[in-house]
Amino acid sequence: GGRPSAVQAVLLAASTALTALVYSLYRQRARVARGLEGARRVRLDGDLRAVLLEAPGRCVPYAVIKGVVQSVKETLSSQFVENCKGVVQRLTLQEHKMVWNRTTHLWNDYEKVIHQRTNTTPFELVPQEQGASITVRVLKPLEASELSLETVYEKFHPSVQSFTDAIGHYLSGERPKGIQETEQMLRVGTALTGVGELVLDNSTIKLQPPKQGLPYYLSTADFQSLLQRQEANVRFWKILTILLGFSSCTILFFLLRKQYRQHCHRRHLRQMQEEFQQAQQCLLSEVNTQGRDTLKNSCVICLSNPKSCVFLECGHVCSCTECHQALPEPKTCPICRQSISRVVPLYNS
């Protein structure tokens, strides 16, 4: 039929919905990249306070600033590494095990975080040059979409299993491998690039998450690396959107082509039907005008041979010899249904 099947309709709807979703993600990434590209670059020096005093509301909505991490009060000490001080500490316990996949009949690696704790202490950014008195207080670092933490300690503790435990784990479909213990820190003295809202609050300069919904960055990478990474992400989502849009257009074109071909087929059938009706009307008119006498003298059974038999005793002249011989026994007149006793040939002169 001309209408799309249920599978085709579902395929078109799913492709269109997926294209719309990917396009939405592409627009979001493009908005982030444009916001990052338009962020104001400020230097962490003595002129920063004057720049904020001249800004509307003593605020730069989206600014890029670079400095060195320095603790405001106490520092956090590493639990495993001596003389390792930081301002953000994250301790993670991660379970590693093998899980049996009933579909592929293979053992797959599985990782799960069973415990994680993050400790923070107030910190600020100071200029890389020694002796400068300007500082920027960093607020809510855990809300940053990219918080660069250095892994200072990592150790894997393999699980010890008895033979009975191994059999039980094999039967249950889960084989523990061990526990991985990790410690990550944002160390004092790390060069950090901050992207967010820069505010002058009384005498304190603060870097905090922006209010326009743009991402908050605290990264050890420089600003150009951040921007290039975002632009590459935008290009990826753009290409994916184009490919999905092309597939949706291909499916739509296929369905429209199918509809058009079905429409042409129905139109061709209508034309053939009209031509047949016209030919039938012409044939009937010719029969009515030219062949009326011929039909009048034709056999009432075959309508092709002339009448050549007189049925007695009824006297009807209505059949040819071939049709009379083909009548079933007992033979009866096809007009009045009386029995035929004898047949007299009819000769037209």
The predicted pLDDT at position 288 comes to 60
Q: Which of 279, 301, 321 is the last residue of a domain?
A: 279
For residues 164 and 188, membership in a common domain is answered with yes
Q: Is 131 part of a structural domain of the chain?
A: yes
Whose tokens are 């004092």? That residue is 188
Q: Does residue 93 fall inside a structural domain?
A: yes
Residue 98 lies in a domain: yes
Domain that holds residue 323: 309-345
Separation between Cα atoms, residue 183 and residue 148, nearest integer Å: 13
- Would residue 214 count as lying in a domain? yes
Predicted structure pTM score = 0.66
**Is 195 in the same domain as 76?**
yes
Indicate the residue among 177, 197, 221 that finishes a domain.
221
Write down the pLDDT at residue 2: 55
Alpha helix segments (H runs only) across the chain: 6-37, 48-54, 163-172, 223-290, 292-296, 321-326
217 with 70, same domain: the answer is: yes
Total domains in the chain come to 3
The DSSP 8-state label assigned to residue 39 in this structure reads P
Same domain, 92 and 212: yes
Question: Any idea what the Cα angle at residue 93 is, between residues 90 and 98, rounded to 5°?
Answer: 145
How confident is the model at residue 293, as a pLDDT?
56
Same domain, 33 and 125: no
What pLDDT is recorded for position 290?
54
Nearest alpha-carbon partner for 218 in 337, 123, 76: 123
Residues 92 and 215 in one domain: yes
Same structural domain, 121 and 198: yes
Instruction: Judge whether 186 lies within some domain.
Output: yes
Domain boundary among the residues 172, 192, 221 is at 221
CA 18, 24, 25: angle at the middle one, nearest 5? Answer: 90
Name the packing angle between helices 223-290 and 6-37 (round to 10°).
150
Looking at the fold, whether 235 and 159 belong to one and the same domain comes out as no
- 59 and 148 inside one domain: yes
Mean of the per-residue pLDDT values for the chain? 87
CA 175 vs CA 92, 103, 180, 204: distances in Å: 21, 18, 15, 54
Average pLDDT per block of 10 residues along the chain, 349 residues long? 73 90 93 90 88 89 92 90 92 91 86 92 87 84 90 91 79 86 93 92 90 88 91 94 92 87 88 85 67 67 82 84 84 85 76
Q: Do the domain assignments include residue 313?
A: yes
User: Are 204 and 229 in a shared domain?
Assistant: no
**Structure-token pair, residue 296:** 């009048």
Q: Select from 91, 139, 98 the least CA-distant residue to 117.
A: 91
> Would residue 298 count as lying in a domain?
no
Residues 129-155: pLDDT tens digits?
Answer: 766 678 999 999 999 988 889 999 999
| Claim to verify: residue 20 and residue 127 sit in the same structural domain | no
| Predicted local confidence at residue 242, as pLDDT | 94
pLDDT score for 100: 87
In a domain, 243, yes or no: yes
For residues 195 and 205, state if they share a domain.
Answer: yes
